[in-house]
Amino acid sequence: MKFTTVSVSYSRKFNLGDYESLELGCSLWAQVEDGEDADGITQFLYQQAKASVKQAAMPVLKASEFQIAKAKSSKKVSGDINETDW
């Protein structure tokens, strides 16, 4: 099977408490040449899209009292939310 373009979309919804939420998403496309690994390119695009959503969400999550309390209740030592809390 010959692929010419692959696309990946990643989205995530975050609960901010008080009936508020934040939904972020990212879509990426790549041209695939004959002989290239389409599955590998797809996995790479997925990881890039996921990282972009995380990066965009971090400022809002760090300011969210609900997310801070959630991280603390998960027995986190630090009150700061970081990417490893996902």
pLDDT band of 60, cuts 50, 70, 90: very high
CA distance linking residue 33 with residue 16, whole number of Å: 42
Residue type, 11: S
Q: How confident is the model at residue 63 (pLDDT cuts 50, 70, 90)?
A: confident
Q: Is residue 81 within 8 Å of 65, Cβ to Cβ?
A: no
Of the chain, the percentage scoring pLDDT greater than 70 comes to 84
* Position 72 pLDDT exceeds 60: yes
pTM for this entry: 0.74
pLDDT for position 10: 98
Q: Can you tell me whether residue 77 is helix, strand or coil?
A: coil
What pLDDT score was predicted for residue 70? 81
